[in-house]
Structure 1
Amino acid sequence: MLCLCQKLRAGFFDSIDDSEKAVLLLTFQEAPTLFQVNVAPRTKDCQQPSSRKRPPIGTDTVRAKRSRRASYQIPTGPTGLTSRTNPTSTINLLPQSSNVIESSIESSLSTSTELTSIQSPSILSIPPLELPSIPVASAPLQPSIHDDLVDKLIKKGVLKNEKLRNIPEIDKEAVGASLYFACSKLAQCKRIACYGLARYHKKYASTDYIVKEIQGANPSLDKNEISEKLKKYLQIGRSWIDIIQTLALKVGGSAEDHIGLLAWVSSYTDWERATKPQYTLALTRLCHDKEIHMKSLKATPAVKLCLAANTTIPILQYIPEQSPIRIAPAILSQAGTGTTAVERAAGLAPDSTLSGNDVNILATLSSFFAPTTEIPLDMLHRGASPRSRWSKKGGIQARPSNVDPALATLLKDKNRVACALEGLCQSREATTCPAASMVPDSYTISRSLRDRTLANLDGEQQKFWKEQALLVAYYSLSWKNIEAGIPNPTAILPHVRFVLAANDSSGKDVTISEIAKALPPDIKEDLTLTLTEAIRLPGMPWKHFAINRAKDLCSGDENPYVTTRVSERGSLVSRLSGEALQTLSHPSHSPADVDDQRIHAARGFVAIEKALNSVQVEQLPEAERSLNEWLPLDQRPNLMEQVILSRKHSLLSKIQRFQGEFREALGHIHVALNIVDQYKSHGLYFEEDIHDLACNYADNLRELESFDQAEKYLRSIIDGASVASRSRNVMEASLAECLFAKGHYEARKTLGEVTPEACSALGEARKLCVGLQSQSTLLKFERLRTLLTLAKICFVEGNYSEAEGHFSKSLTVMNKFDRTNGYATMTIIKSMIHTVRRAPVKNDGELKQRSLEQSREKLRMLEEKAKEGGIQYWIPGLRGWEASLMTLAPVRSRI
């Protein structure tokens, strides 16, 4: 180990520790005369070589390098003190003279200089370090860095390093290794490389992966030596991160805008050794006297260019040559390397400040999604991953993503995507959305980035990226029953709509884009079927868009399975829109049915849709007939047929309940529930069906007055961790009706006396209904159901005015449904008549009488139009409520 004297003689000032610094400071304070030595200017002739043998000098020791160069003389201060005082004092960070010549500050750099602003000998920082003789030029700094540093050093020092270029396949871009070699080999950009390395590597994280990358590039390097140097480079870089952040806080703005400071400050080792108060004071004076903050802004693009060169050129991710993703950074094309347009397909605009292949690729892909719309990170991952599809044998098969393999490799790696997104955010080109937002785990890109990206790509490149964005967006949508549901599928729909639509002159998406039309037949077929699956997602505008685009895609398609599915889903959209019901026909039987069993399954989907159309017009026998006509191909149904069977028996259960056949309905629902329980382990998912099955089961139990059993079953499903909010609302509406029926039943048993059990049930039912009514996303039927439950609770409690208001609101919601036989409407009007009759007269008795007469007239008209049959038990519990109206006595609440 070297002593303090040896370190001072050899110029190893970086190795002086804190205790030795304290000794020097104490010596200066107690014996300042020791430092009052006038050093006469030394000439070349009077310099005597030292006879003392110096220790070995490492290649990474900056001071050791300088000791072998011709150096400037050390001037003395005005009091005779030499300028080399305490190495960490603030005065070392500032120029001695305030008369700084602008042209001298903006001097050029030769290939043998440090990356710093160059001043004449008379205005060197105090103390003047041993610097080589540097010519002063009038060229500004930014072009100097670009011409000298980039064109000469990068091309000569890095591109010719074959050990760095010929690297086997690796998983990462090895940015850390790239910056390490820049720190080691390129002295002129060491400071910038150290800063980039510290920003790339998270503090306190392990450096093993960087060491591994470095050894992969050069196996001859010692692991321990790499670790020590890496530690030193990170320490230097973090010092500069703190310094630049301090400058940014002082003058305002982002630290990213002021990294040009790295190109302006001389004596950078003094800055690295300085404490925060010392360099803060120095920055304050430099901003005031030299406007260093303005100069740093001016030099920032050049420093970013240098940083980009050292994070993208030396080590590139292995990507197949034929992939349009394989790119070279923009700096290479500027240097005349002759990269093709396809190789620069993911490149940003030439003036972009972003660096790194992953950042460029993510920025380019994001520019082709819907503008100013949150981009879910899950969409990127799902869009590049294999998806489940129905096989021709009726089973489940995995379909690989059609996204470009290199792009898919990036998007499937969540860590790489997160790092790329962090790079975009640091460049203020993207913003992540908070967890409490409508679309958590998402981000948005700036409009300026999107505009620059589109402007930098030619027609062929834009066509390629439009196709990739289309593939990623649509492939992220899930298929029902064979894939797990998406937590927030509506966040994906704007991007699917954007990449699929071809806008007319008015901006409306009236047809499908040419990119989608040009897809290969198998991808086009998969896209069509995915759109038919996505019609189940909420929103009528989306449903219309999806079915119209599916029809555009399958135009001229002769595949009977695809055309049947599109026709069946089109009928669904028409029925939900209130349009005329479409006539559906089964696909004709052919020998192809043996090879493609999906065609027979499509007949099952058609049978279900025809039954739903019949239910819509209250033709229940016809609905049963349609369902019973379809059977599986054999006695061992395949998985696709099992899904259809579960839907068939669920719908049969509803039809039986609508007719008042509650026990027969329970038999069908048990069949459907058994299929769900049995085939969960076979790769089928029923979370989108479970709320409908659970409510159907509980509603039948409610009609049979098995209130406790219905309540217990609903609570077990609602408390499940995987229940979506929309499904929870549906089941809570059913639970509220069940609790009301339970409380009402207890009150009737005690002849109108509200027992604690009845009080508790009615109170919880009211709380559930009020909570559901406050939700704007509540479905139309659940809103009607909870209004009726609230009205019945108020009636039972004797709050007739409030009950009348809820019955009136429920009639308003009822008018939004298609009118058929009108049994439910008649029951609500009867309830209003009983409520108005019992309500106290406040002011105008004639108004009350007139309201009663109008209600009786409406009821008479509906009774005249009613026909035999139809749906008499549409809303669970409503017919039982009607039967109890005539015998129900008003109950005064004791709540």
Structure 2
Amino acid sequence: MTFIIYHGAFAVFPDLQPQAGIVSFNTPPVFGIQNRDPESRPVKSIRGLINSLIGDKVWLNTKGASSSGKKSFSMELTERRNSALEAASQSLFDESSTRSEDASVLLVLLSFFSPCEKIPLELFTRGSTPRKRWTIEGEVELVDATKVGLASWLIDILADGQRLTRAFRELCQLAAVLKYPDETYHLNEDMSARVHRSLAPDALPFWRQQALIVAYRAIPWKYIEFPEPVVKSFLPHLHHVAEAFHDCFDELPTATRTDFMLTLIEAFRFPDMAWKYFAIGQAELAAGRLKDTHLRLCIGQTKAVLGRLSGNMDEATESLQDFITNDPAAAVNKRISCEVGVAIIQRSLNSIQVADLSTAQKLLEDWNPLGDEPSPLEEILSFRKHSLLGRVKRLQGNFDESLKLLETAHEVSQKPSQLVFDEDLRDLTCDLADALRELNEPITGEGYLRTEIMRRTERPDPLTGKSLLELALSEALFAQERYEEAEKICVDIESRVSLLKYERLRVYVILAKLSHIRSDFEVALSRWSEAMQALQEFSLVDGQVQTIISASMADVLDAQGHNWLTRESPRRASLNELAKPEGVPHWIAGFRQWADYLQSRGRHDL
């Protein structure tokens, strides 16, 4: 066994949604043990297990340290292992039995994860293997877990799939751990409590920190790592270990603390709202008294997203107040330039939320990467700029410009690259198909949509969240007069639980149009009423959208012979009151063509 202290610079960089930027730190020493023997060996006693873990050769990079300090550290290390391994024996009630060192160590580590949730094997392999992070120049690098304090002897166990599986199998044979058919495991609360009671009090912080590092490092960063569906099962464990550690963040080395905070901000993008509040709250706690404006900016940008999602636009705006867009460093520094870019994206999204499309457009058009050869980080910002600006142009009615911008973004996403755009492809494809719908090219839009739907569903682990894509597809089919296909999709979507309010609105609109065009006026009136009710959940909606729905309801009533209802002034006033002057003129794709259809039927109140 060889004991090593690692020194060096550690750079960690946040991703783009909902934050961006780059910062580097000098790490304090991080300790680890490198195991020369890859095989787990049964041991007959606690002393033998300690000796096999630590060995008789200990080398310390202790330049400038006193001899008493060296001795103290060596004793502390021995006591820590001694306590942990003794705890494993006491918890299993089998001190005299043969048990591998790997199984003992794994049992202690497992006890710090949530006893209420199943534990996927991937949590440990991802948490202990190198993870992708941003460099100061906006490039991508692999960062070893030792750089943030994960003990190298733990890495030897957790990062080796066969070795880890053997350790889990052994714990299952000892009835310490339960294995499920889906290759997940469970350590019950009673066993966790027994392990903790058996550990020496001064060993608890070490193991708590190791569990925290493993749990947070398992979370992928957007655009540089693919978010496998299994990642969502990591979140309860990250919640558990972070909550257990929240009053000890000051004890973490700066590099670990920073990487943890930025990963929490990355994890913010996963559902649901309760998790989002927890993630940003823990990130703020971890920030504590750290004097780093970059990290504060990352938190601010995330809070802006939270404000929009919760409908609190004051918070969304105030969270970005401290950002200075005219920082002279942005002219020469790619890190600052990318920070500017992400803040601009957040501000433009705030503007879209309040229907200020001209401000959103100007903000986006003012940002560009530095130089002719953008870094990968700048490539992501450019991709997001084109995607969002393409959406703004469509909402404004500039459909040709919108299509060019969206096609540019789509081409970037399809090029072979180290960057991963999968999490943005659903919304980008919907925007692209909607722009093509407005340009009366629904067949081309259908092609984009079916390709993306197929990509998501034919994976070994199909991606969720296809309702938006299928609604855009249903609209494209409606435009081609393929009504039965469109209806079948919408009926299926309507039956799903937990639809987004925009998804529910759009499914009502398409079903209403289908009934209306078939002259099934009773059903059409019911559907238009549902659409109007759903529309009231949106604070700023263009008056044109509400006017078209009102006109559709009036057209149905006229067709049923109730035209006196729409001509009568109180009834007509109640319909017209729903039309407000503010909002986004081309919010729902296909409404422009539907208005033309109503006018062809003699409606002159649009």
TM-score, structure 2 as length reference? 0.81
Distance 1:531 1:813 in 2: 34
- Counterpart residue number, 2:469: 731
Q: How far did residue 562 of structure 1 move?
A: 2.2
User: Do residues 762 (structure 1) and 483 (structure 2) align?
Assistant: yes
Distance 2:137 2:143 in 1: 15
- Counterpart residue number, 1:396: 140
- Counterpart residue number, 2:340: 603
Cα deviations by residue, 1:223-275 (Å, 9 ceiling, x for unpaired): xxxxxxxxxxxxxxxxxxxxxxxxxxxxxxxxxxxxxxxxxxxxxxxxxxxxx
Q: How far did residue 524 of structure 1 move?
A: 1.3
Q: How far did residue 384 of structure 1 move?
A: 0.6
Distance 1:319 1:806 in 2: 75
The one-letter code sitting in structure 2 at the alignment partner of 1:696 is D
Alignment match of 2:215 (pick from 468, 473, 482): 473
Aligned residue pair count: 536
Distance 2:572 2:122 in 1: 57
User: Do residues 660 (structure 1) and 397 (structure 2) align?
Assistant: yes
Change (3 A) 1:854 1:571: farther
Distance 1:349 1:311 in 2: 12
Cα deviations by residue, 1:263-291 (Å, 9 ceiling, x for unpaired): xxxxxxxxxxxxxxxxxxxxxxxxxxxxx
User: Do residues 342 (structure 1) and 86 (structure 2) align?
Assistant: no
Alignment match of 1:875 (pick from 585, 588, 591): 588
Distance 1:598 1:661 in 2: 33
Q: How far did residue 434 of structure 1 move?
A: 3.5
Distance 1:736 1:499 in 2: 44
Q: How far did residue 607 of structure 1 move?
A: 0.5
Q: Is the 8 A contact 2:487 2:511 kept in 1?
A: yes
Q: Is the 8 A contact 1:614 1:623 kept in 2?
A: yes
Change (3 A) 1:742 1:854: farther
The one-letter code sitting in structure 1 at the alignment partner of 2:403 is L
Q: How far did residue 732 of structure 1 move?
A: 1.4
Q: Is the 8 A contact 1:312 1:357 kept in 2?
A: no
Q: How far did residue 707 of structure 1 move?
A: 1.6
Alignment of 1:182-261 (within 5 A): none
Q: Is the 8 A contact 1:833 1:855 kept in 2?
A: no
User: Do residues 170 (structure 1) and 41 (structure 2) align?
Assistant: no
- Counterpart residue number, 1:780: 501
Change (3 A) 1:546 1:467: same
User: Do residues 515 (structure 1) and 248 (structure 2) align?
Assistant: yes
- Counterpart residue number, 2:12: none
The one-letter code sitting in structure 2 at the alignment partner of 1:172 is E
- Counterpart residue number, 1:215: none
Alignment match of 1:442 (pick from 184, 207, 227): 184
Alignment of 1:651-690 (within 5 A): 651-678=388-415, 680-681=416-417, 683-690=418-425
Change (3 A) 1:531 1:169: closer
- Counterpart residue number, 2:197: 455
- Counterpart residue number, 1:234: none
Alignment of 1:352-431 (within 5 A): 352-353=92-93, 355-401=99-145, 402=148, 403-431=150-178
Q: Is the 8 A contact 2:246 2:286 kept in 1?
A: no
User: Do residues 614 (structure 1) and 351 (structure 2) align?
Assistant: yes
- Counterpart residue number, 1:701: 436
Change (3 A) 1:429 1:392: same
Distance 1:784 1:590 in 2: 42
The one-letter code sitting in structure 1 at the alignment partner of 2:575 is L
User: Do residues 859 (structure 1) and 557 (structure 2) align?
Assistant: no
Cα deviations by residue, 1:743-767 (Å, 9 ceiling, x for unpaired): 1xxxxxxxxxxxxxxxxx2222112
Change (3 A) 1:855 1:421: farther
Cα deviations by residue, 1:532-559 (Å, 9 ceiling, x for unpaired): 2222212111112222222233344343
Alignment match of 2:520 (pick from 795, 799, 807): 799
Distance 2:540 2:337 in 1: 35
The one-letter code sitting in structure 2 at the alignment partner of 1:460 is D
Distance 2:92 2:329 in 1: 56
Distance 1:314 1:400 in 2: 25
Distance 1:561 1:320 in 2: 45
Change (3 A) 1:592 1:667: closer
Distance 2:308 2:396 in 1: 22
Where 1:631 maps in the other structure, the secondary structure is coil
Distance 1:792 1:432 in 2: 51
Distance 1:726 1:787 in 2: 21
Where 1:726 maps in the other structure, the secondary structure is coil
Alignment match of 1:559 (pick from 283, 288, 292): 292
TM-score, structure 1 as length reference? 0.56
- Counterpart residue number, 1:634: 371
Change (3 A) 1:429 1:716: same
- Counterpart residue number, 2:74: none
Change (3 A) 1:791 1:469: same
Change (3 A) 1:464 1:341: closer
Where 1:462 maps in the other structure, the secondary structure is helix
Change (3 A) 1:589 1:353: farther
The one-letter code sitting in structure 2 at the alignment partner of 1:729 is S
CA RMSD of aligned residues (A): 3.1
Bigger RCO of structures 1 and 2 (CA < 8 A, at least 6 apart): 2
- Counterpart residue number, 1:825: 546
Q: Is the 8 A contact 1:561 1:599 kept in 2?
A: no
Unaligned 5+ runs, structure 2:
1-34, 60-77
Distance 1:591 1:582 in 2: 23
Where 1:798 maps in the other structure, the secondary structure is coil
User: Do residues 691 (structure 1) and 433 (structure 2) align?
Assistant: no
Q: How far did residue 321 of structure 1 move?
A: 7.3
Distance 1:548 1:375 in 2: 24
Cα deviations by residue, 1:143-183 (Å, 9 ceiling, x for unpaired): xxxxxxxxxxxxxxxxxxxxxxxxx93211144xx7xxxxx
Distance 1:444 1:320 in 2: 35
- Counterpart residue number, 1:547: 280
User: Do residues 486 (structure 1) and 223 (structure 2) align?
Assistant: no
- Counterpart residue number, 1:576: 309
Change (3 A) 1:531 1:886: same
| Percent identity of paired positions between Structure 1 and Structure 2 | 30
Cα deviations by residue, 1:711-751 (Å, 9 ceiling, x for unpaired): 122112221245953343321121111111111xxxxxxxx
Change (3 A) 1:673 1:711: same
Q: How far did residue 587 of structure 1 move?
A: 4.0
Distance 1:398 1:601 in 2: 20
The one-letter code sitting in structure 2 at the alignment partner of 1:568 is Q
Distance 1:429 1:855 in 2: 71
Distance 2:55 2:212 in 1: 22
Alignment of 1:45-64 (within 5 A): none
Where 1:873 maps in the other structure, the secondary structure is coil
Change (3 A) 1:321 1:520: farther
Cα deviations by residue, 1:70-116 (Å, 9 ceiling, x for unpaired): xxxxxxxxxxxxxxxxxxxxxxxxxxxxxxxxxxxxxxxxxxxxxxx
Q: Is the 8 A contact 2:511 2:527 kept in 1?
A: yes
Where 2:186 maps in the other structure, the secondary structure is strand
Q: How far did residue 400 of structure 1 move?
A: 1.2
Where 1:348 maps in the other structure, the secondary structure is helix
Q: Is the 8 A contact 1:517 1:553 kept in 2?
A: yes
Q: Is the 8 A contact 2:304 2:346 kept in 1?
A: yes
